[in-house]
Structure 1
Amino acid sequence: MRHHFACPLRWSDMDAFGHVNNVVFLRYLEEARIDFMFRLARQADSGAFTGGSVVARHEIDYRRPLVHRPEPVSVELWVSKLGHASVTVDYEVKDEQAVYVTARTVVVPYDLELGKPRRLTDDERSFLSHYLDDQADSAAAA
């Protein structure tokens, strides 16, 4: 299963050439990940990820330029790897015509009070496992 997030394009997202700036795509991924981990996960378990999480790694492949328009793009997100103390999330930023970006993020749950990484809880793992697709043919996996 994939999580679908409708991400609006903002005029300030554009670079001098009229395309979405490369770093802005990381913000799009972040917005989708926050919606997934902090809205959806907390609906399933009110304590999910309340201690925090940190990004350990990003990989991103730019497939096509994206220009500003009034319609949002879809950020599709799924879990490609589920460990005991990390989760790998893959993405596609796309619309009906094209895939603009494929990406991957490794997220580590973090204990803010202790200032160190922690293991995923059973409830967090259960939620994330519903979105697990380790067979997805994503260019981010390459």
Structure 2
Amino acid sequence: EILHIRGGGSAPAPVYTAARSHQRLTVRPGESLWQIAQRAGVGVSVLAHANHLTGRTVLHPGQVLNIPAHTVVAAINHRQERAATRGQTTTYVVRQGDTLWQIAQQFHVQPHSLMQWNRLASASDIQPGSRLTIYTR
């Protein structure tokens, strides 16, 4: 394994490039494939293809995903890691015509997570004026 380190000086965090067949990242609670792709510095389609995922695949916290070779992953310190994983609460007021799926996409969370956080039995339980609690990073 070869580790190239860039940065230092005034750089906010070093950047590590893995020179092996693949690298792994663990899915954090509430994290979407898009967020993981951003964190890994790869495109969503590249990440999905490398892990045999489809648009219907549900990610689970703790799931380990393979990151294709020669991708860049930013290194962060413990304080930054805690800040990145600590959820922040947002309240969203449902508007006429909103769907649970659209709201989930807007906040980069899974629809089933929205249902769990708000104790909804089904996606059709939302009504205009309803307040949804959303946990984001």
The structure with the largest alpha-carbon Rg is 2
TM-score (norm 2): 0.27
Q: Tell me the TM-score normalised to structure 1 length.
A: 0.26
More strand by share: 1
